[in-house]
């Protein structure tokens, strides 16, 4: 028999798995998105594709007469789906904060 779990089997989590899951719950997503609204044509592709739903349609019109997409605040996971799905090159930029694994020593 294969060593995997079916939907009917259960197992208890190890302490390491539990602590890993707890850490993920407490981690705040630290990404952000910048959208060049003057170039956005309001196709809605990025908004529909965004898993954490942090993009929305602007209520105001841009210079070309479109309701552009805009970043509405915290919660971006830096997945980059909005960047890859956008048909306009250079409109969407995704930033992700890289956490340092080494502690900086005071000089």
**What's the rounded mean pLDDT across residues 64-92?**
95
Average pLDDT over residues 26-50: 90
For 79-93, how does the pLDDT look when each residue is reduced to its tens digit (9 = 90+)? 999 999 999 999 999
Residue 24 placed within a domain = no
100: pLDDT confidence band, cut at 50, 70 and 90?
low
Domain count along the chain = 1
pTM to 2 decimals? 0.66
| C-alpha to C-alpha distance for 98 and 68, rounded to whole angstroms | 29
Q: In the chain, which ranges are continuous DSSP H helix? A: 15-26, 45-49, 81-85
Reduced to 3 states (helix: H, G, I; strand: E, B; else coil), residue 23 is helix
Name the burial class of residue 69, with classes exposed (0-12), middle (13-18) and buried (19+) by CB atoms within 10 angstroms of its CB.
buried
Does 10 fall in a domain? Answer: no
Distance, in Å, from the CA atom of 55 to the CA atom of 71, rounded to the nearest integer, reads 5
Give yes or no for residue 21 having a pLDDT over 60. Answer: no
Higher pLDDT, 6 or 88: 88
- Residue 44 located in a structural domain: yes
Domain CATH for 77: 3.30.70.20
Domain interval for residue 48:
30-96
Are 55 and 46 a contacting pair, CB within 8 Å? yes
Residue 43 falls inside a structural domain: yes
């Amino acid at each position: 028999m294969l060593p995997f779990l079916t939907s009917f089997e259960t197992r208890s989590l190890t302490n390491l798995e539990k602590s890993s899951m707890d850490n993920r719950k407490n981690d705040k997503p630290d990404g952000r998105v910048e959208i060049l609204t003057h170039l956005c044509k309001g196709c809605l592709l990025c908004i529909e594709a965004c898993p954490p739903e942090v993009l929305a349609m602007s209520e105001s019109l841009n210079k070309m007469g479109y309701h552009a997409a805009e970043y509405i605040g915290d919660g971006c996971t830096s997945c980059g789906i909005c960047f890859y799905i956008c048909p306009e090159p250079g409109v969407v930029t995704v930033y992700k904060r890289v956490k340092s694994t080494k502690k900086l020593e005071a000089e």
